[in-house]
């Protein structure tokens, strides 16, 4: 039931954004991958565009070996700067992309391979980026994970002080 509830919320939010923009975009999504995840990234890119999102592809654009940190940093920096609402990063496991994206100040990236974790990443941790592993999840599950992540919004509540502690630490206030 949880994933269905999130999907309904996504549908309502996208519909409302389209109405507010005169039928325009639902969300500005940055997407990127390494060569191991190129095919899955393409599936997700098309899926997001078909859902009405404005998708900016940060690469890679083929299966030649590439330095995934460059892609992760570019996506995370674009989100931190406010040019995109959310991000999706895909590599072999999702781990490397998460580590890299989390190095960018103000970014919270979470690896998720199931819909529950994807929803909680945003709802409890205010994550702006979800990372997935192309060697871990198939295309249909990846679509559901991304849809759930994009539909979820930060709930605040008991999690808000914890997220603020993370932000404070990041700003250099460790006391």
Q: Is 33 a catalytic residue?
A: no
pLDDT for 4: 42
Categorize the per-residue pLDDT at 161 as very low, low, confident or very high, splitting at 50, 70 and 90.
Answer: confident
Please give the average per-residue pLDDT across 100-115, as a whole number. Answer: 97
| Longest Cα separation, the chain | 48
Domains present along the chain, CATH in parentheses? 2-170 (3.40.1400.10)
Cβ atoms of 39 and 46 within 8 Å: the answer is: no
Query: Which of helix, strand or coil describes residue 55?
Result: strand
Identify which has the larger pLDDT, 24 or 4.
Answer: 24
pLDDT for 140: 98
Please determine, for residue 116, whether its predicted confidence score (pLDDT) is greater than 70.
yes
- pTM for the full predicted model: 0.85
With CA atoms as reference, report the closest residue to 5 among 133, 123, 131. Answer: 123
Q: To the nearest whole percent, how much of the chain has pLDDT over 90?
A: 73
In the numeric block, the tokens 């406010």 are attached to 82
Alpha-carbon distance 146 to 152, whole Å? 10
Please determine, for residue 23, whether its predicted confidence score (pLDDT) is greater than 60.
no
pLDDT for 156: 85
Alpha-carbon distance 4 to 98, whole Å? 26
pLDDT for 163: 87
Please determine, for residue 3, whether its predicted confidence score (pLDDT) is greater than 50.
no
Identify which has the larger pLDDT, 72 or 5.
Answer: 72
Which contiguous run of DSSP H or E holds residue 162? Answer: helix 160-170
Of the residues 14, 33, 91, 100, only one is catalytic, namely: 91
């Amino acid at each position: 039931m949880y994933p269905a509830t999130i999907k309904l919320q996504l549908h309502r939010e996208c519909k409302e954004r389209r109405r507010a923009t005169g039928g325009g975009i639902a969300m500005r999504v940055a997407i990127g991958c390494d060569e191991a995840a190129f095919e899955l990234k393409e599936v997700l890119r098309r899926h997001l565009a078909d859902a009405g999102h404005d998708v900016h592809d940060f690469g890679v654009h083929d299966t030649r070996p590439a330095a995934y940190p460059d892609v992760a940093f570019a996506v995370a920096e674009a989100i931190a700067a406010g040019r995109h609402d959310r991000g999706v990063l895909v590599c072999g496991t999702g781990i490397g992309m998460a580590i890299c994206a989390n190095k960018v100040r103000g970014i919270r990236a979470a690896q998720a391979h199931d819909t529950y974790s994807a929803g909680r990443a945003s709802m409890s941790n205010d994550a702006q980026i979800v990372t997935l592993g192309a060697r871990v999840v198939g295309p249909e599950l990846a679509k559901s994970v991304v849809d759930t992540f994009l539909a979820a919004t930060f709930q605040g509540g008991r999690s808000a002080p914890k997220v603020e502690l993370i932000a404070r630490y990041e700003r250099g206030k460790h006391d």
